[in-house]
Amino acid sequence: MTNERFSARRALVLLATASAFAILVACNDSVTAPELGAPTSLVSSIVETVYLPTFDSLNARAARLSSALDALAASPSPAALSAAQDAWRATREMYERNEGFAFGPLITNEYDPNMDTWPIDRAGIDALVAGNTSITKAEIDEEDGTLKGFHGIEYILFGDNNSTTAASLTVGQRNYLSAAGQSLAAVAAALDEAWSPTGGNFAGQLTSAGSGNSVYASVGAALQEITSGLIEPTDEVANSKIALPLSSGDTYFEESAFSDNTLNDLKNDLHGAYAAYTGSFSGDANGIGTLIASQSPSLDVQVRAQFTAAFAALDAVGPSFDQALHNNPDALRSAQQAILTLNHTLVNQVAPLVGAVGDDD
């Protein structure tokens, strides 16, 4: 979410899908609201099957990442470095999935900028670790997002062109990794807690949407929120995360350039969206698609096929976004186009249909 970027781009003009979505949503009051079975249970199903397990898993994996970074800091070895890098990728997988429902405490409690700010302040991190053998989690907690989070850790843990070795890590860098890992894990735990029915229970705000709910005063608003949430990564991946590196030819604009994990990031962005649509990460439960299928079975078939095509196009990019950027940009363009096609269907057909449902509660 905070990995927003701007640049003086001159070549590519892809018009404003997010904004077009807004317009369509805005116009939805002109659509006659059809009857629908139980949109409330649909919201509950998505929250319980997709959202909460993702936050739980992010929390657990971030804790394991923190432990792996502590171990690396205490005793740097090639095996410890490799284990920490694997733990980073595993944690990253869950964070990117949560981009398909990036609203609520993630934003209002400022967890996102603390975990996933892009770009990072390389010079600032270099200054932070230079000769600093005692940096603590508390100090990292107070720093800007540009000095920590996934990409700050990634910068030290992988290095330019994945050049970090166990032997190259300085004491300051090792301390930084340990402290930044602990800070990230604490934020992931706070996010999980904020959603949890046994904690801050933001989940309950969604599942109890309706009159008297101070956050979602109608089930329609909750469905609209879920739908906007799943559309967002399709816009961001196509129009920003692929578009900016493609148009600049520069890996600086990549999501996870140090680890070359960008392609996985993009796939997991789509997985989060897909799960909200289909109701589960395996695509077989009750999600927004259930509602769409009840109104327009052919549209539901179309959306699922376009998700499948988008995943296939990302698979075809190959193992590395970096390599494709330099050697096979056409594969990136094809993936971008496939995701845009999906995005346009979601914006122009799915969102208006969802908007027409659920406000009669």
Partner 1 sequence: MTTTDVKRMSGITCRPTHVALVAACALALAACGGDTPVRPPTGSDTTAAGLDPNSGGALMTVVDATSRAFQLPGTSLSSDRLAAHVDGDAVFDATFVPAPAPVNPGLGPHYDNNSCSGCHTGDGRGRPPVSGDLFNSMIFRVSGAGVNAHGGPAPIAAFGTQLELKAVSGVTPMATVAIDYHDSTDTFADGTHYSLRVPRYIVSNPYAPFSMDAKLSPRVAPPNFGLGLLAAVSDQTILAGATAESAIDPSVAGHPNYVFDSIGRQTVLGRFGLKANMATLTEQSASALSGDMGITTSVFPLDICADPAVSCASHPPELTDAQLAAVTTYIQTLAVPARRSVTATTVVRGEQLFRGFGCTTCHTQTMTTGTVAGAPEVSGQRIHPYTDLLLHDMGPGLADNRPDYLATGSEWRTPPLWGIGLTPVVNGHTNFLHDGRARSLLEAVMWHGGQATAAREAVRAASPDDRNALLAFLNSL
Task: Choose between 84 and 189: whose C-beta lies nearer to partner 1.
Answer: 189
Binding of partner 1 by 123 (CB under 8 A): yes
- Shortest distance (Å) from residue 26 CB to partner 1: 4
Span 259-318, contacts to partner 1 by CB under 8 A: none
Residue for token digits 């394991």?
64
Query: What's the CA gap between 212 and 221, in Å, rounded?
Result: 13
Measured in Å, how far apart are the chain's first and last C-alpha atoms?
A: 32
Q: Which of 63, 69, 129, 243 binds partner 1 (CB under 8 A)?
A: 243
- How far is Cα of residue 78 from the mean position of the Cα atoms in its chain? 29
Q: Which of 146, 164, 173, 345 binds partner 1 (CB under 8 A)?
A: 146
Q: Please report whether residue 16 would count as binding partner 1 according to CB under 8 A.
A: yes
Q: Considering the rule CB under 8 A, would residue 96 count as an interface residue with partner 1?
A: no
Residue 114, token pair as written in the block = 């603390």
Among 162, 240, 280, 302, binds partner 1 (CB under 8 A): 240
Binding mask of the shown chain, residues 102 to 121, with x at each position contacting partner 1 by CB under 8 A = -xxx-xxxx--x---xxxxx
Q: Which residues of 188-224 are buried (b: 16+ CB within 10 A; e: fewer)?
A: bbbbbbbbbeeebebbbbbbbbbeebeebebbbbbbb
Instruction: State the nearest-atom distance from the C-beta of 278 to partner 1, in Å.
Output: 21
116 contacts: CB under 8 Å, gap ≥ 6? 1, 2, 3, 95, 145, 149, 150, 151
Does 15 contact partner 1 by CB under 8 A? yes
**Is residue 25 a contact point for partner 1 (CB under 8 A)?**
yes
Residue type, 86: D
Q: Does 224 contact partner 1 by CB under 8 A? A: yes
What is the Cα–Cα distance from 42 to 350, expressed in whole angstroms? Answer: 16
| Interface contacts to partner 1, rule CB under 8 A | 2-16, 18-20, 22-23, 25-29, 103-105, 107-110, 113, 117-124, 127-128, 142, 144-146, 214-218, 220-221, 224-225, 228, 235-236, 239-240, 243-244, 250, 252-253, 355
